[in-house]
Structure 1
Amino acid sequence: MQNIYWHRRAVLTAMAALAAQPTMAMDVHVVVHNDPFALGVASGDPAPDGFVLWTRLVGKGGSTLDRGAISVGFEVAHDSQFRRIVRKGEQVAHPAAGHSVHVELAGLDPDRRYWYRFYALGAVSPTGRTATAPLRADRFRLALTSCQHWELGWFSAYRDMIAADPDLIVQVGDYIYEQSYPDQPKVRAFGADDPRDLKGYRARHALYRTDPDLQEAHRLFPWLVTWDDHEVWNDYAGLANREGLAPHIFAARRAAAYQAYFEHMPIRPSLWRSLSTPRLYRGVDWGDLASLSMLDTRQYRSSPPCADPMLARNVRLDRCADRLRPDRSMLGTAQEFWVGQRLARETRPWTLLAQGVFFAPLALDASGDVMFSDQWDGYIAGRDRLLEHMAQPSVRNAVVLSGDVHSFWVNSLARAGSGHPIVGTEIVTSALAAQSPPPGRFGNVQDNNPHIRFSNVDRTGYVLINLDLEHMAAQFRAIDARSPQPKFDILAELHQDAGADIPTID
């Protein structure tokens, strides 16, 4: 109990720092000689009446500013020239929150494009562009992305994504990587050791935000984000971790990583201020066409099956009975209840659930009893409970959006055991920029997994998804992230009519 209390106290302290108001004199009239907006601007979590705007003030080379609280002005306009300003104000960038700024706006017009900018320290930020969600919609375009390793690939896939002009970019984890891979060829270097404290995680996020393609995608489109494991430490599960560190030790590292994540993401501050733990699960609905539930599959999950309670590594499980326990959960009690309530109240024709890890069963041999521990296969009871919610009459067309495995997949979803009906489709995006899985990692995929409709384990890229009232179409867009001037290939196209159980793959 003492370890759990310490963990809760560490997280409360970290989150309070992000919400704190300044208790010191503000640096109002100071002018700096570098660009304090070098990390760019971003927006996210769109609603029919608003969104959240983000920036972070930094020093030379993206370093943390050595200054007190700083007043930051902002403007939101109907036009890019700011002739028709609809909202303006000031917020305080506090050093305890890395001088990050989150402006949560409401009261704006639905289904409308807006432009925004920030002012501070005698400088003006780049002009950002974003949009509110519609009240009614007959189409929705989203880009699904995951897994971007700074050293292992260029982020030029965002150029293609920008050209596709999505309504929303959905990032389902591994936005940063905390570790280097010495055996992999590199296109650039982290230039620092693995982060373990707040200073290190801040620096890693700031490095990522200097990438021009990533920065431009944030500037032009609203994002919806969640974390997976590499934002903290590979394969962690709750407080279980790769080295089996005691909870009070790992909790400090996790709290630092969580704080740095919130400092750098366009996430509504109302999600994490005044809460006992930072919350990432939330809904973003696209008019009357689609609901989109973003889930957190790391913070609340049970410890990995058939392992020491504090040890978390992605390993092959062979006839592990522990994974069948009914109390095992990927989402935790509160999040399971929340998503169950959302699905029970569903009224839209398309129901999207975005989350970090491979959802469908993935048998690694013909017995069906060998699988990876880090995926939903290690949490079968939790998966079945979520599938039961997806099978409710209120849910007409369920689609799970996933990442993590550095490969493309399309899977049909049904509860464990024979005879259960298909209740949804899973679309898994490959890494945007990271290594592909080693040959043979997933075994004989098609023979061992008849519910898998498509897989490609050799290419990286992202998925572009279009929805309308009658149809879903998805393009699996591949790129060589190690090439500075890459060309895109469409590996496959998914088509699924509303009401159909099984998609077609061209």
Structure 2
Amino acid sequence: MAGNDLLWHRRAVLGAMASLAATPAIACDAGARASADPFALGVASGDPDSDGFVLWTRLVGGPLEPLDAKAVEVRYEVAADPAFHRIVRAGRGLAHPERAHAVHVEVAGLTAGRPYWYRFHALGATSPVGRAATVPRSADRLRLAVTSCQHWEQAQFGVYRDIVRAEPDLILQLGDYIYEQSYPDLPKVRAFGAAEPVDLDGYRRRHALYKTDPELQAAHRACPWIVTWDDHEVLNDYAGLANREGLPPAIFAPRRAAAYQAYFEHMPIRPSLWRGRREPRLYRAVDWANLASLSVLDTRQYRSTPPCASPTVARNVRLTDCANSADPSRTIMGRAQERWLADRLAREHRPWALIAQQVFFAPYWLDGDRRTTFSDQWDGYAANRARLLVEMSRPTVRDAIVLSGDVHSFWVNDLDAAGIPVGSEIVTSALAAASPPVGRFGDVGRNNPQVRFHDTVHAGWVKLDLRQREMRAELRIIEDRADVASRFRTVATVTQQSGARRVAVLDR
């Protein structure tokens, strides 16, 4: 990108992100009253550490309507028991209209390694009770529920029933929490009931619609979540400020900023990650005691423009003989995030290093000559992947596991650096979305020996159990994604011994 274009690019981003730093109104609306349940969007917790977590809710005037009020006082309570006989933290604050009356409370000073229950009070109403938990100081087990891709129109969210029954310690959502676009050629089980969002009000309404789903609400109440975004939270396939519609930065940057603000307003993310910054930061660490590090990445905001394409256009296309994808100057993470992750891996001391990110990480070839790949995956940023694989091969990293989503299918892949095993990748299928078209991935077995398992037919989730010496992952599928009460089963089980740097057993 030319110097003047780059300067304009940055100015567009900074101008658009100014809304995230706006000063909220301070006048309290003491006379505000709710004509409907102000907690109709539910409650949630997230990003736990050893002494606390963040709590979330959003006050609304109706399930999809903003609250018609100025700043409203909200009280919260955290208890050591579900009946709230022992309240250990309580406080109050203001829910501001500039933030859609969303509430984020960072709770600290709690005891490590135990569950807590929480609720909110506002406008004469009390919220549902949610269950949170703090990270233990020493741990011999961790259960993660890994999810991705939930399209409101294409499936019910019945998979969350299976997840809640499994009683995970954490739910890890790898992006495409909402979808901005409808697909008229695919069957629908329900409708968005609104046009594609392009501004703050539209994105707020789309998030609010999702939050009305009872299965999703139950999963948010069950345990803390860790979230990161992919593309559909803004616009399919976007990369930095390049986008599939070819919109110039002056138009797309405000749209992206609106989508980012709506995402923050509806997610249990620590506000300290966002406030006081020139741009919202989502990459972060959420580690689990002495058992596992969890590095959560953002592979959308900082991407270089797509390889072998117009600088303003981003679409997931087949690339053949695209030398630009291997350009060392290209990045999917951005330099600051890349340095941050390299530093974490250099100081790794836990048996399991988990890297949570959005898109297919392993090399994937669509032809036998290894000339053709997809542009939207890490193959479009091959030099960045090569650098990360080198960092993953450090002696400090005993076992690295990359957790990915995006492709609406299950995959288990070997990861190598210069022919030396460095780790594994587990890709979860869509939780609630259509499967990819038949033949999209070509001849998997012939072209890609690094693929140990794949299932491109079913939707579901990954139940990942970690112990000091073993990882076990069950790839769980829903038999009928249109039926909220459908049955579930395990389509494959993956195990790996600590120190092996490779999936050792695969039962189908």
> Residues 281-360 of structure 1 correspond to what in structure 2 (within 5 A)?
281-360=283-362
Residues 474 and 494 in structure 1, CA contact (< 8 A), matched pair in contact too: yes
How far apart are 1:9 and its partner, in Å? 2.0
Question: Does residue 437 of structure 1 match 2:428?
Answer: no
- Partner SS state of residue 6, structure 1: helix
What residue is the counterpart of 2:410 in the other structure? 408
**Alpha-carbon distance, 1:3 to partner:** 3.5
Determine the C-alpha separation between the residues in 2 that align with 1:143 and 1:326: 35
User: What SS does the corresponding residue of 1:108 show, helix, strand or coil?
Assistant: coil
Structure 2 unpaired stretches of 5+: 1-6
Is the contact made by 2:157 and 2:484 (CA closer than 8 Å) also made in structure 1? no
Q: Which residue of 2 aligns with 1:492?
A: 492
Match of 1:362 in 2: 364
Q: Can you list the C-alpha shifts for 1:453-500, whole angstroms capped at 9, x where unaligned? A: 000001000000000011000000001211232111210000111111
Please say if 1:249 is aligned against 2:254: no
Provide the residue aligned with 1:48 in structure 2.
50
Tell me how far apart the structure 2 counterparts of residues 485 and 43 of structure 1 sit (CA, whole Å).
26
1:90 aligns with 2:92: yes
RMSD, aligned α-carbons: 0.9
The Cα of 1:67 is off from its aligned counterpart by 1.1
- Cα pair 1:21 1:92 within 8 Å, conserved: no
Matched ranges for 1:183-198 at <5 A: 183-198=185-200
Match of 2:423 in 1: 424
Q: Aligned residue for 1:162?
A: 164
Aligned residue for 2:3? none
Normalised TM-score (structure 1):
0.98
CA distance in 1, matches of 2:108, 2:51: 5
Answering whether residue 8 of structure 2 is matched by residue 2 of structure 1, we say yes
Give the Cα–Cα distance (whole angstroms) in 2 for the partners of residues 93 and 453 of structure 1: 49
**TM-aligned CA deviation for residue 369 of structure 1:** 1.3
Deviating above 3 A after TM superposition, structure 1's stretches of 4 or more consecutive aligned residues are none
Counterpart of 2:10, as a letter, is: I
Distance 2:258 2:185 in 1: 28
Q: Say whether residues 1:474 and 2:473 are aligned partners.
A: yes
| C-alpha distance in structure 2 between counterparts of 1:366 and 1:159, whole Å | 41
Contact 2:476–2:489 at 8 Å: present in 1 too? yes
Q: Distance in 2 between matches of 1:469 and 1:182?
A: 47
1:327-386 per-position Cα deviation (integer Å, ceiling 9, x unaligned): 111100000011111111111000000000000001001011100000000000100111
Do structure 1's residue 448 and structure 2's residue 450 form an aligned pair?
A: no
The 2-side partners of 1:163 and 1:357 are apart by 27
The percent identity for this pair of structures is: 61
Deviation at 1:309, TM superposition (A): 0.6
User: What TM-score does the superposition give when structure 2 sets the normalisation length?
Assistant: 0.97
2:269 is the alignment partner of 1:239: no
Unaligned runs of 5+ in 1: none
| Structure 1 residue 40 displacement after superposition | 0.3
SS of structure 2 residue aligned to 1:92: strand
Aligned to 2:144: 142
1-structure distance, mates of 2:366, 2:237: 19
State the number of aligned residues.
499
Q: Is the 8 A contact 1:94 1:100 kept in 2?
A: yes
Q: Which residue of 1 aligns with 2:25?
A: 22
- 3-state SS, counterpart of residue 88 of structure 2: strand
Structure 2 residue 213 is matched with structure 1 residue 211: yes
Aligned counterparts of 2:105 and 2:462: Cα–Cα separation in 1: 29
Task: Indicate conservation of the 8 Å contact 2:231/2:237, yes or no.
Answer: yes
Q: Matched residues in 2 for 1:282 and 1:2: separation?
A: 28
2:227 corresponds, among 225, 234, 241, to 225
2:113 corresponds to which of 105, 111, 114:
111
Amino acid at match of 2:19: A
